[in-house]
């Protein structure tokens, strides 16, 4: 059987899949995509990824793009990191989609306006900073009641959110109001598979 091929770069979305692959002990070959050089817009990667974004995997069928879809695929294939029961699975998917629809986009925009935009845009910083703090609050309230983001066990919901939420220092987010989230971040950071995944990603 061909080995899974993982197209990635050292970004939060790339880290998600690296962590899942290591947590699941799935052998894989890494293909690095040089985003600064624009390789994501060139063949053969661009032919596989309609949105010209990493991550992407080629497993035992057509290429799979979008990190949430990849996490769902890997969990389903392995039978791990996603509950079997309908209710538990639904909760994990709700938190997974919260990350994809809100945490990633909002924190990504805040990072851009803090670090990549050449001009100081106070309106954007206020807008995205406020939304980022609101989302940290959503996560904090959940983690104050549960050990893991979707309740139950460690899951792909935790793996999806962690690489983004750990960026609080670069985002200018004080963690003083988020003690449960701080503990959760540290707990995941200490996992051997997470440390191995980040090392494989060049951290």
Domains and CATH numbers, the chain: 4-81+194-200 (3.40.30.10), 86-191 (1.20.1050.10)
pLDDT tens by residue, the chain, 203 residues? 568 999 999 999 999 999 999 999 999 999 999 999 999 999 999 999 999 999 999 998 999 999 999 999 999 999 999 999 999 999 999 999 999 999 999 999 999 999 987 788 999 999 999 999 999 999 999 999 999 999 999 999 999 999 999 999 999 999 999 999 999 999 999 999 999 999 999 88
pLDDT of residue 119: 84
With 0-12 / 13-18 / 19 or more C-beta atoms within 10 angstroms meaning exposed / middle / buried, residue 104 is buried
The CA–CA distances, whole Å, from 82 to 91, 155, 197 equal 10, 6, 19
pLDDT at 169: 97
Long-range contacts of 67-71 (CB under 8 A, 24+ apart): 67/13, 67/16, 67/17, 67/100, 67/160, 68/96, 68/97, 68/99, 68/100, 68/160, 70/16, 70/17, 70/20, 71/16, 71/17, 71/20, 71/96, 71/156, 71/159, 71/160
**CA–CA distances in Å: residue 30 to residues 33, 88, 192:** 10, 32, 19
Q: What is the pLDDT of residue 120?
A: 86
Structure confidence at residue 197 (pLDDT): 97
pLDDT at 174: 97
> What pLDDT shows up at residue 187?
98
| Predicted pLDDT at 1 | 54
């Amino acid at each position: 059987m061909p080995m899974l091929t993982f197209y990635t770069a050292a970004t939060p979305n790339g880290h998600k899949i690296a962590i899942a692959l290591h947590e699941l002990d799935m052998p894989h070959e890494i293909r690095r995509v040089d985003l600064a050089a624009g390789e994501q817009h060139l063949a053969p990667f661009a032919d596989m990824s309609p949105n010209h974004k990493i991550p992407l995997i080629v497993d035992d069928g057509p290429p799979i793009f979008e990190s949430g879809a990849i996490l769902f695929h890997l969990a389903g294939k392995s039978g791990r990191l996603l509950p079997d029961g309908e209710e538990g699975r639904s909760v994990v998917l709700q938190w997974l989609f919260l990350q994809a629809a809100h945490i990633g986009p909002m924190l990504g925009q805040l990072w851009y306006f803090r670090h990549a935009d050449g001009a100081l845009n106070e309106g954007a910083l206020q807008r995205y900073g406020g939304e980022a703090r609101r989302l940290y609050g959503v996560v904090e309230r959940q983690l104050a009641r549960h050990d893991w983001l979707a309740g139950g066990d460690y899951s792909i919901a935790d793996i999806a959110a962690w690489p983004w939420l750990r960026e609080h220092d670069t985002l200018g987010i004080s963690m003083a109001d988020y003690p449960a989230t701080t503990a959760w971040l540290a707990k995941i950071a200490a996992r051997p598979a997470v440390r191995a995944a980040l090392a494989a990603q060049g951290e």
